[in-house]
Amino acid sequence: METGGFNVATDALLEIALVLIDMHGDGTLRRGATHDFHVRPFEGARLDPASLAVTGIDPWHPLRPALPERDALQRVFREVRHAVRAYNCRRAILVGHNAAFDLAFLNAAVARADVKRNPFHPFSCFDTATLAGAALGQTVLAKAITVAGLDWDADSAHNARYDAERSADLFCLVCNRLRDSHRCAEERARELGWVSDAAEAALGEPPLDAELPPL
């Protein structure tokens, strides 16, 4: 997400990009489809000039195809729900670089726009800054991408689509390098009886169409 500041309650959501993660039959991950939208600032939203200077976003540019928050969120959630069902999951987990920031803005926008059936878990997330720090020794996205041997274009940074795609590439790279460890842990979980239809049903995770309690 690109925003007009750091305060989830007062600052505008300006761009939102979703990158789906696909899984091969052997369990390795790869970046999937990208969906991104410009977002119109909600009424009364704060726009910090310093944040706009970093992102280069002009919220009121006449050629900017911005959608209302509710419309943009519903379009993103529609794609996520399709993916959740395709992979027979019960809920989506947000992955992001400093993911708590994105999740906080997402939850605030959902509440503000009164969007129902949010497919994302309300507080669980994967942070690629943490994963990159542990696996690559770098927490800054540009540096982590570079030491991982992937391409980084500084001129394209601070664009929701570009940053989301690079974060997805980073997430897949780290997870794929941990695949052997994950496979061993998965086998151990099956030996313990933790991975079964009965065990997963016992977790009590609400189905996708259920309403979660308020935060």
What is the distance between the alpha carbons of residues 215 and 45, in angstroms, rounded to a whole number?
22
Residue with tokens 């997963």: 200
Buried b (16+ CB within 10 A) or exposed e, 69-86: bbebbeebbebbbebbee
Three-state DSSP class for 167?
helix
For residue 58, give the DSSP letter. -
Q: Residue ranges of the alpha helices (H) in 22-127?
A: 49-55, 69-86, 99-113
Strands 13-23 and 29-39: antiparallel
- Give the pair of three-digit tokens for residue 80: 């996520």
Nearest C-alpha neighbor of 127 from the set 170, 186, 181:
170
Residues assigned a catalytic role = 158
Three-state DSSP class for 4?
coil
What is the distance between the alpha carbons of residues 106 and 123, in angstroms, rounded to a whole number?
11
